[in-house]
Amino acid sequence: MIALTDKVTYSVEDGVAVLTVDNPPVNALSQGVRQGIKDGVERALEDPAVAAVLLHCAGRTFIAGADITEFASVPQGPDFHAVLAVMENARKPIVAAIHGTALGGGLETALCCHYRVAVEDARFGLPEVNLGLLPGAGGTQRLPRLVGVEKAVDMVVSGNPIRAAEALELGLIDALVTGDLRAQALAFARDAAARGELPRVRDRQDKLAVEPGYFDQVRAAIARKTRGFLAPELNIQCIEAAVSQPFDEGLATEAKLFRQALASPESAAQQYFFFAERQAAKVPGLPKDTPERPINRVGIIGAGTMGGGIAMNMANAGIPVTVVEMSDAALQRGLGVVRKNYENTARKGRISEGDVQARMDLFTGSLDLADLADCDLVIEAVFENMAVKKEIFTKLDAIAAPNAILASNTSALNLNEIAAVTTRPESVIGLHFFSPANVMKLLEVVRGDKTAPDVIQTCMRFAKRIGKVPVLVGVCHGFVGNRILFQRQALEGATPAHIDEVLYEFGLPMGPFQMSDLAGLDIGWSKETSTGSTVSERLCELGRFGQKSGAGYYDYDEQRNRTPAAVAVELFEEFAAKQGITRREIGDEEILDRLLLPMINEGARILEEGIASRASDIDVVYVYGYGWPVYRGGPMHYANSLGLAEVRARLERYRGKTGDAAFEPAALLVELAEKGGSFT
Ligand code: 3HC
């Protein structure tokens, strides 16, 4: 065996040159991998003892893409396109042996082999769109030639990978093998050499036809979901080029659009976020080999909206779950909602009818906390009341297994106080799920003063097992609290509809007034105690509770379409007059600043207090928990891109203009702004 580079080896076995890529963790196409593959193929072509080439990977996966860490640096040869050209034009057959994930540049490499052989659990995808990019090495031109235009569009726009069985059916791979992939792919390569054919994907034309108007239909269908993103549209344009242009012209179009995508702020933000998300899983000061506690059964206290949603995460991951409620009626109602959710998912074709039952079979309902004795992790998800939570944790402490982790889903209460009622505060932790808990990806893992390292480690890893993105935070009061600022802007002259529109245009799923209407204005309000001292209270007094009553800040028709309500604006005018606030026109930019700058400022305070370990963790929280558009990276990334001196100057300007202390720049922000630094 010869080492071609430190990442690729070469050996000849029975007339087949075997190129083995070994670049952990995901065999990304770093410089040494590109160089090794190119050298290996060229060597094999010159070697008279070699009749075919096998490309395969050591470790857990086939090549999972270009090395994203190289995007920001000066490109080092060999150029990826040049490597692929050598492969595609080779006069000896090249076979890719695929396990794990063939993604992005990895799949593009496989598409330049003459044949692809894979194991059953392999997956194939072009996920560049998730990085604000498009496949830049021929993927958009070759993929549709094998799988057809519609499937290719679906794959590049969604970024979702497909499984090996589907890949075989579509013609993306040539053989599916069970057992020893390397040995079987070697046999395949020898047969291919004997046949002597050299099929190239680029020469295929038979699957490129589409109905007229097809691409516009796709654009209309995805418009809502991809609003604000640049890459989905560029990916579509590439596949259009595959259909309408000769192969080499299509490649040139793809290369041009790739450069456009790579230079965009959207892609910079999405690449930043890719690493932010992975970084969040790492806890500073917690060694990688910190032991974990086994979690085989989870208990949930409370079968309400939160409890039920949390329990679904467990069942989705195949983990048995015991759900405890106070009354049989509440338990049955909770489990009924869970079943209904699963049935709805099955109706949409995302899981089978069999899956619905299999998941429900993982649920055990109970009215007795004592039934949680065999759980390794218990998550309390009852309403936010300290006395109630303390009572539950006291009881739980007496019941739970000695090694069990006791978690609270509290979003606001002091975890240390809850932990203090137990004899094992080191085993108590916060697991703050976001509603709907079976959908939202964020999990705030709240570390108490006494939470043990193995408990933190277990929960961070467990989060990944149930499909969540964990972010470790300290005990604090939650991040939101900007509502008051929206109210203030509306008093000064902006209309609720205008404020909502600006934030929607920025990329948030909806503005604050729409959100209030959706959540219900009467949360925490009662007729008896209402003092009519805020616009929201006055709206409630008028019976305007938001969407559910057909009226709030907006009026709603039967289909819940909204129109701005004059009465809401009149109320703001009335309150402004009472408070002596002069109303004026407020522009889009000011509205946006006055939302975003306090968020950034609050983020800086959270860092100062050590509540979050790094700025990128805060961005992960805002993107996955609060609908911040990922193509803007999160508030801290956004602040860096504006420049912290600029952020500080604007905050000070609004501080002067409104007198509102929320605009007082945080000390950390001032310090970094003065140094010319950034949050990351
Ligand atoms: N480049 C550099 N590093 C990468 C990488 C890549 N393409 N893909 C993953 N990594 C790193 C991660 O940052 C992480 O590093 P860390 O351990 O230091 O945090 C490590 O590999 C493991 O990654 P995950 O934690 O994500 O491991 P999983 O097992 O959960 O997932 C995966 C593996 C499915 C391969 C996932 O990492 C993934 O989706 N990677 C990105 C794939 C991708 O987007 N490929 C396209 C790249 S762009 C491209 O190819 C352009 C081309 O068209 C020219």
Q: Note the pLDDT tens digit of each residue in 420-457.
A: 999 999 999 999 998 889 989 999 999 999 999 999 99
Indicate if the pLDDT at residue 480 is higher than 80.
no
Tell me which of 26-30, 154-158, 219-223, 489-493 is least confident: 489-493
In a domain, 287, yes or no: no
Task: Select the more confidently predicted residue: 257 or 482.
Answer: 257
pLDDT at position 484: 66
Instruction: Give the model's confidence band at 481: pLDDT under 50 very low, under 70 low, under 90 confident, else very high.
Output: very low
DSSP structural state of residue 522: T
The pLDDT of residue 81 is above 50: yes
Residue nearest to atom 19 of ligand 1 (CA): 278
The reply to whether 574 and 593 lie within a common domain is: no
- The residue whose CB lies within 8 Å of the most ligand 1 atoms, and thus the one to mutate among 68, 81, 163, 262, is 68
The pair of structure tokens assigned to 51 is 């009749």
How far does residue 603's CA lie from ligand 1's centre (Å)? 27
Same-domain pairing of 90 and 235: yes
Residue ranges with strand state E in 302-427: 321-324, 363-366, 377-380, 405-408
Do residues 355 and 429 both lie within one domain? yes
* Ligand 1 pocket residues where CB is under 6 Å: 25-26, 28, 64-69, 101, 103-105, 108, 127-128, 131, 133, 135-137, 139, 275, 278
- In this structure, the strands spanning 377-380 and 298-301 are parallel
Q: How many angstroms separate the alpha carbon of residue 629 from the centre of ligand 1?
A: 21
Mean pLDDT of 639-660: 94
Q: In sequence order, which residues have a C-beta less than 8 Å from that of residue 162 and are 6 or more positions away?
A: 123, 124, 125, 155, 170, 172
> 338: pLDDT confidence band, cut at 50, 70 and 90?
very high
pLDDT of residue 512: 87
Give CA torsion, residues 387, 392, 396, 397, to 10 deg.
0
Q: Does the predicted TM-score (pTM) go above 0.85?
A: yes
Q: Which of 128, 266, 590, 602 is catalytic?
A: 128
Q: Are 631 and 230 in contact (CB under 8 A)?
A: yes
User: Which CATH number is 527's domain given?
Assistant: 1.10.1040.50
* Residue nearest to ligand 1 atom 1, measured at CA: 67
For residue 328, what is the domain's CATH number? Answer: 3.40.50.720
Packed helices 496-506 and 588-608: angle between N→C axes, nearest 10 degrees: 70
Q: 470 and 533 share a domain?
A: no
How many independent structural domains does the chain possess? 4
Task: Return the H-helix or E-strand segment holding 81.
Answer: helix 80-88
- Which residues face 101 on adjacent strands? 123
pLDDT digits (tens, 9 = 90+) for 617-633: 999 998 998 889 999 99
Q: For residue 64, give the ligand 1 atom closest to its CA.
A: 35
Total residues found in the chain within this entry: 680
Q: Which of 46, 70, 88, 108 is catalytic?
A: 108
Q: For residues 208 and 144, is the Cβ–Cβ distance under 8 A? A: yes
**Cα-trace Rg, the chain:** 28
In a domain, 414, yes or no: yes
Is residue 277, in this structure, part of any structural domain at all? no
Nearest-atom index, ligand 1, CA of 131 = 44
Position 677 scores a pLDDT of 92
Does pLDDT of 383 surpass 80? yes
Which pLDDT belongs to residue 258? 98
Q: Residue 474: pLDDT band by 50, 70, 90 thresholds?
A: confident
172 and 79, same domain (yes or no): yes
Asked if the model's pLDDT at residue 479 lies above 60, the reply is no
Residue 398 lies in a domain: yes
- Please check whether residues 572 and 664 belong to one and the same domain: no
The pLDDT of residue 483 is: 58
d(CA 426, CA 422): 9
Separation of alpha carbons 82 and 103, rounded Å: 19
Residue 558 known to be catalytic = no
Q: Which two tokens stand for residue 531?
A: 């003092």
Q: Which atom of ligand 1 is nearest to the CA of 275?
A: 13
C-alpha 585/C-alpha 492 separation (Å) is 8
What mean pLDDT value characterizes the chain? 94
Nearest protein Cα to ligand 1, atom 28: 26
Structure tokens at 430: 């916060």
Residue 372 DSSP class:
G
Question: Is 108 an annotated catalytic residue?
Answer: yes
Q: For the beta carbon of residue 662, count every other beta carbon within 10 angstroms.
A: 19
Looking at the structure, do residues 167 and 71 belong to the same domain, yes or no?
yes
Whether 109 has a pLDDT exceeding 50, the answer reads yes
Residue 172 lies in a domain: yes
- Rounded to an integer, the average pLDDT of 190-217 is 96
Contact 318, 298 (CB under 8 A): no
The answer for residues whose C-beta is within 8 angstroms of residue 675's C-beta and 6 or more apart is none
Does the residue 292 lie in any domain? no
In the chain, what percentage of residues exceed pLDDT 70?
Answer: 99
**Atom 16 of ligand 1, nearest CA residue:** 278
For residue 229, give the H/E element and its range.
Answer: none
pLDDT band at residue 478, thresholds of 50, 70 and 90? low
Among the residue ranges 354-368, 392-406, 491-505, the one predicted with the least confidence is 491-505
The answer as to whether 486 is a domain residue is: no
Would you state the pLDDT for residue 525?
A: 80
Measured from the Cα of 60, ligand 1's closest atom is 29
Q: Do residue 606 and residue 474 come from a single domain? A: no
> Which tokens is 193 given?
């050499």
Does residue 470 have a cis bond before it (omega within 30 degrees)? Answer: no
- Show the domain range for 625: 589-610+613-675
What confidence score (pLDDT) does residue 660 get?
84
Amino acid present at 383: F
Q: In angstroms, what is the span from residue 272 Cα to ligand 1's centroid? A: 13
